[in-house]
């Protein structure tokens, strides 16, 4: 089992604040890093898939960066809104495998 760690475990921010979370993963045999957004009572929804060192992806107010050499990825949310409240999961896949190893997630609560 590969170790994928996310921090912090949970986070409360005020509406309008910007925030970021960290995902750490093994730097050897890297293939891809996925970010998912998981709202309560729904299923995880893909945000980004990143494969190249230095990759940066953006979707609206959410962006992510990737450092495969040191084994981490950051997810940023600019100007948090209450609808951003969810658990954000990262998942790592290694070369030659399609299955994902998930972190336990960062639970974000945006307070209006």
Partner 1 sequence: DSGVTQTPKHLITATGQRVTLRCSPRSGDLSVYWYQQSLDQGLQFLIQYYNGEERAKGNILERFSAQQFPDLHSELNLSSLELGDSALYFCASSVQGGVNEQFFGPGTRLTVL
Interface with partner 1 (CB under 8 A)? 1, 4, 31-32, 34, 36, 42-46, 49, 51, 89, 91, 93, 97-105
Return the number of the residue (86 or 89) whose C-beta is nearest partner 1.
Answer: 89
| Nearest approach, Cβ of residue 48 and partner 1 (Å) | 9
Instruction: For the CB of residue 99, give the shortest distance to partner 1 in the complex, in Å.
Output: 4
- Cα separation of 24 and 3, whole Å? 8
Identify the CA nearest to 17 among candidates 78, 72, 69: 78
Residue 21 or 36: which CB sits closer to partner 1?
Answer: 36
Q: Residue 79 CB, nearest distance to partner 1 (Å)?
A: 25
CB of 18 to partner 1, least distance (A): 25
DSSP string, 13-50: EETT--EEEEEE--STTEEEEEEEEE-TTS--EEEEEE
H/E segment holding residue 73: strand 72-77
Which residue shows structure tokens 């050499």?
Answer: 69
User: Would you say 15 or 45 has its CB closer to partner 1?
Assistant: 45
């Amino acid at each position: 089992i590969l170790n994928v760690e996310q921090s912090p475990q949970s986070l409360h921010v005020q509406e309008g604040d910007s925030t970021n979370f960290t995902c750490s993963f093994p730097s050897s045999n890297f293939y891809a890093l996925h970010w998912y957004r998981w709202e309560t009572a729904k299923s995880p929804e893909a945000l980004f898939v990143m494969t190249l060192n230095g990759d940066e992806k953006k979707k609206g107010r959410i962006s992510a960066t990737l450092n495969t050499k040191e084994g981490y990825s950051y997810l940023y949310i600019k100007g948090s809104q209450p609808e951003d409240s969810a658990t954000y999961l990262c998942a790592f896949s290694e070369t030659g495998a399609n299955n994902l190893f998930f972190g336990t997630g960062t639970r974000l609560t945006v307070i209006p």
